[in-house]
Amino acid sequence: MEVKKENLAELPLDEILKNNGYYEKRNKSSRNYKTLTNDQDDTIVISRQANGHYLYFNPSDNDDRGNIYNFAKNRGVGIRDLINIDRININELKSNIKPIETTNQSNKKVIEDFKKLPIITSNSFLVVKRKIDPQILNSFSMLKQDEKYANAIAPSYTCKSFRNGEKKIEFLIQTGSVSYLSKPLTKDRQGNPYDKPIKQLCNGNKGLEILKGDDSQKNLENFKYIVICESAIDALSYCELKKLNLKETILCSTNGQISSSQKEVFSYLNEKATDANIILAFDNDKKGIEFNGIVKEIIPRAVTDKAILKDFNDDLVVGKILGLKADEISKESITKPLNEFNKKVEYLSKKYDILEPQAKNNKVKELFGCNMSKFKEIELKVRCLAEMRECYKRLDIVCKKIEKDYLKQR
């Protein structure tokens, strides 16, 4: 089959690449954007424009973007190799990527819808599940909640500029929002499970999420702290853990990946907030280290702060479940009760089969008496700590033995 050159940009790029060794990362995809990768970790995001053309961009390389021609050129392959007619039937290629509305139309609707939403409530899942102090949430009228699903929604901003004569004027403008889902999505619309649950959805143009307290400073040069995290939930948690003054603190979050528009906002904040202490509080994992390095290149004066666990919300949640107040949470205050629990589990695990019945009963009562349910509740968050993975393995074995003995006695 012959394909006209001028029509190549209208061919479903996502489906073409799936026939060339790429596969979809469905937990990173949406109705307008499909994220594809291959075994060489060549990850790209594909969209379909209102005119029917398919475009892509590489989230790790600002120069790697465009249509199918750019994709082929940037990888040193031929267009005809990508759409080899012996391997691909062009007529059967169908994509379910929804065309993107024009930017102005789409963004305008997103902002209008966002402004109509009520402010977040004290019974939000951010309070119930994520343990954030409701007084902190109530300080941000720009933090919204949708009425249907009770999702928490934060505004996101991009940097705009224009020239007034020879002078360049820059400012931040809201171009989107991010919904933090009260119930993560585990399956797509066809019922197929995602590799990982989807916890956030982006609306409008992807920018940097920014939260400023209602009573905060008006001018950037008057802020003392700018906190940058991967999610608004982490930023709010950090603020509570460190007891930062909301009047002089800006909370920022990148939501999963750092885009070129976010880099522009970082540069703007660095230039305008000259007296602010800029704190990088990304996740305590490989991606977090990568993001930290990217932002440090843009803001060399930024300082890094690391969570005890994977992220600062994990620190907050675990600390509060263990009965600590936010200002009491530290590595020592978290690890001390965990180590004590671990010792009880380890002793019972090693001695269970040889203890006398009365001594065994005493040790079992001692184990359950330490409120074992709270340790089970935080299991997934503390397994990263030394010895805790083995602790929970031993606990499972001990609990099975206890249950077996109980059934025998009935």
pLDDT per residue as tens digits for the range 243-264: 999 999 999 999 888 999 999 9
pLDDT (0 to 100) of residue 86: 64
**pTM, entire model:** 0.77
Confidence of residue 5 (pLDDT cuts 50, 70, 90): very low
Joined together, the tokens standing for residue 368 give 């359950």
Confidence of residue 291 (pLDDT cuts 50, 70, 90): very high
| Percent of the chain residues topping a pLDDT of 90 | 71
CA 42 to chain CA centroid, Å, is 21
Confidence of residue 169 (pLDDT cuts 50, 70, 90): confident
Confidence of residue 100 (pLDDT cuts 50, 70, 90): low
Whole-angstrom distance, CA of residue 249 vs CA of residue 236: 11
Angle made by CA atoms 340, 346, 351, in degrees to the nearest 5: 130
78-105: average pLDDT: 74
User: Rounded mean pLDDT of the chain?
Assistant: 90
pLDDT per residue as tens digits for the range 117-153: 999 999 999 999 999 999 999 999 999 999 999 999 9
pLDDT (0 to 100) of residue 1: 43
Q: For the chain, give every domain's residue range.
A: 5-92, 103-314, 330-409
Rounded alpha-carbon distances, angstroms, from residue 117 to 113, 138, 153, 156 = 7, 15, 9, 15
pLDDT of 168 over the 50 cut: yes
Whole-angstrom distance, CA of residue 181 vs CA of residue 153: 9
| Percent of the chain residues topping a pLDDT of 70 | 94
pLDDT of 6 over the 60 cut: no
pLDDT (0 to 100) of residue 7: 74
pLDDT per residue as tens digits for the range 171-230: 899 999 999 999 999 988 788 888 889 999 999 888 999 999 999 988 899 999 999 999
Whole-angstrom distance, CA of residue 306 vs CA of residue 156: 24
pLDDT (0 to 100) of residue 187: 87
357-376: average pLDDT: 91
pLDDT (0 to 100) of residue 256: 80
Whole-angstrom distance, CA of residue 386 vs CA of residue 392: 12
256-277: average pLDDT: 93
Angle made by CA atoms 26, 29, 32, in degrees to the nearest 5: 140
Whole-angstrom distance, CA of residue 4 vs CA of residue 6: 6
